[in-house]
């Protein structure tokens, strides 16, 4: 179910409840069942939806509610609050300070939109007067450096990296994995450290490190991520997640969180056929806030994510 449909289903459920002549436990249950169904179809994790339903039933206790209480309002408010609660981990992301050097490391699976999002994030801050720089520590995917270079050049952001497989002047060995040319001997940790050091010297205040993804969660990916993290000591690790990955969102986000200190989430591809539920699951799994969403392939198709307006929109 795409985000707009999810919003439509939830507001329809609320409307049906509002139309009922009398609000009793059955009407509330019907409404909650409809909302539950809509959230599950949007890939919100099963447990989150179950917890939400239990909490709302606790808040809206018909025995305690005196006659004359506006039950509709109380139920609507409870649903709003519970949805906000899923999206609000209770602590904001680490606040970067303009003028002071911060290192931000991006992690996520290959294809999630990580490299694109690095440039979007840099561009967003550049427009606000920061001095960002991009480091390509993705030596796994052939073409990653060229992509970052192309994006960075277009957005006029300094970048650092090496074409895949080039170490000094030597082309290293390569293998074919999933029909992709993958070079085996490039050293992402070294490249990351070199890039960060260079841009610190150049007084950049936002040094963004793009790391390798893999097609799926695997030990080699997490090991490399940990090494880059230990070597560059990022102030913030951002987990980038494709909003269309479905029910896998929770487990995927949790696996990343268990390997590196994820402090914020960016959900990409919220345009088109995006499902909204993944965002809710990623927050719950990482206990980190969604800070931006990607809404297209272009550099400025990028929005700050605010919980309350997002949920208000969802409820219609």
**Which residues contact ligand GDP (rule: CB under 6 A)?**
108, 110-116, 147, 213, 268-269, 271-272, 294-297
> Among candidates 274, 265, 264, which has minimal Cα distance to 296?
274
* In the complex, minimum distance from the CB of residue 276 to ligand GDP, in angstroms, rounded to a whole number: 14
Helix, strand, or coil (residue 121): helix
* Contacts of 203 by beta carbon, 8 Å cutoff, 6+ apart: 101, 131
Cβ atoms of residues 312 and 285 within 8 Å: no
CA dist., res. 28 & res. 16, Å (int): 10
DSSP strand pairing (206-211 vs 132-137): parallel
Residue (of 93, 14, 10, 16) closest to 277 by Cα position: 10
Residue 252 C-beta: closest distance to ligand GDP, Å = 13
Q: 42 vs 115, which CB is nearer to ligand GDP?
A: 115
Distance of CA 314 to the CA centre of its chain: 18
- To the nearest whole angstrom, how small is the minimum distance from the Cβ of residue 91 to ligand GDP? 26
- CB nearer to ligand GDP: give 188 or 213: 213
Q: How far is the CB of 16 from ligand GDP (least distance, A)?
A: 33
Q: How far is the CB of 120 from ligand GDP (least distance, A)?
A: 8
Q: How far apart are CA 75 and CA 57, in angstroms?
A: 9
* Beta carbon nearer to ligand GDP, 71 or 123: 123
For residue 240, the cross-strand partners are 266
Least distance CB 278 / ligand GDP (angstroms): 13
By C-beta, is 79 or 276 nearer to ligand GDP? 276
Nearer to ligand GDP, 38 or 148 (CB): 148
Buried b (16+ CB within 10 A) or exposed e, 159-194: bbbbbbbeeeeeeeebeeeeeeebbeebebbebbbb
Minimum Å gap between C-beta 269 and ligand GDP is 4
Q: Is 305 helix (H, G, I), strand (E, B) or coil?
A: coil
19 to 7, 10, 27, 245: CA distances (angstroms): 18, 14, 10, 36
- Count of positions (residues) in the chain: 316
Rounded to the nearest whole angstrom, what is the least distance from the CB of residue 39 to ligand GDP in the complex?
Answer: 22
Task: Give the residue at shortest CB distance from ligand GDP.
Answer: 294
Residue closer to ligand GDP (CB basis): 125 or 214 = 214
Q: Which is nearer to ligand GDP, 8 or 296 (CB)?
A: 296
**Closer residue to ligand GDP in complex, CB, 71/120:** 120
């Amino acid at each position: 179910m795409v985000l707009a449909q999810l919003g439509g289903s939830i507001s329809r459920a609320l409307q049906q409840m509002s139309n009922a002549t009398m609000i009793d436990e059955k009407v509330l249950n019907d409404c909650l069942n409809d909302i539950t169904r809509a959230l599950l179809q949007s890939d919100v994790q099963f447990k989150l939806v179950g917890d939400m339903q239990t909490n709302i039933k606790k808040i809206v206790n018909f025995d305690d509610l005196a006659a004359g209480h506006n039950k509709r309002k109380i139920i609507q408010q409870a649903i709003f609050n519970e949805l906000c609660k899923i999206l609000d981990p209770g602590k904001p992301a680490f606040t970067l300070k303009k003028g002071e050097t911060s290192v931000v490391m991006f992690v996520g699976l290959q294809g999630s939109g990580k490299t694109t999002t690095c440039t979007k994030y840099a561009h967003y801050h550049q427009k606000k007067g920061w001095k960002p720089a991009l480091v390509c520590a993705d030596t796994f995917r052939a073409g990653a450096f060229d992509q970052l270079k192309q994006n960075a050049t277009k957005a006029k952001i300094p970048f650092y990296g090496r074409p895949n497989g080039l170490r000094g002047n030597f082309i290293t060995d390569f293998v074919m994995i999933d029909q992709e040319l993958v070079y085996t001997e490039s050293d992402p940790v070294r490249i990351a450290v070199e890039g960060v050091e260079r841009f610190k010297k150049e007084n950049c205040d936002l040094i963004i490190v793009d790391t390798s993804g893999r097609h799926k969660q695997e030990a080699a990916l997490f090991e490399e991520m940990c090494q880059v993290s230990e070597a560059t000591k990022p102030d913030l690790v951002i987990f980038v997640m494709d909003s269309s990955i479905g029910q896998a969102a929770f487990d995927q986000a949790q696996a990343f969180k268990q390997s590196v200190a994820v402090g914020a989430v960016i959900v990409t591809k919220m345009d088109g056929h995006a499902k909204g539920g993944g965002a809710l699951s990623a927050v719950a799994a990482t206990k980190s806030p969604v800070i931006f969403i990607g809404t297209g392939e272009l550099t400025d198709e990028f929005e700050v994510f605010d919980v309350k307006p997002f949920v208000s929109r969802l409820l219609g």
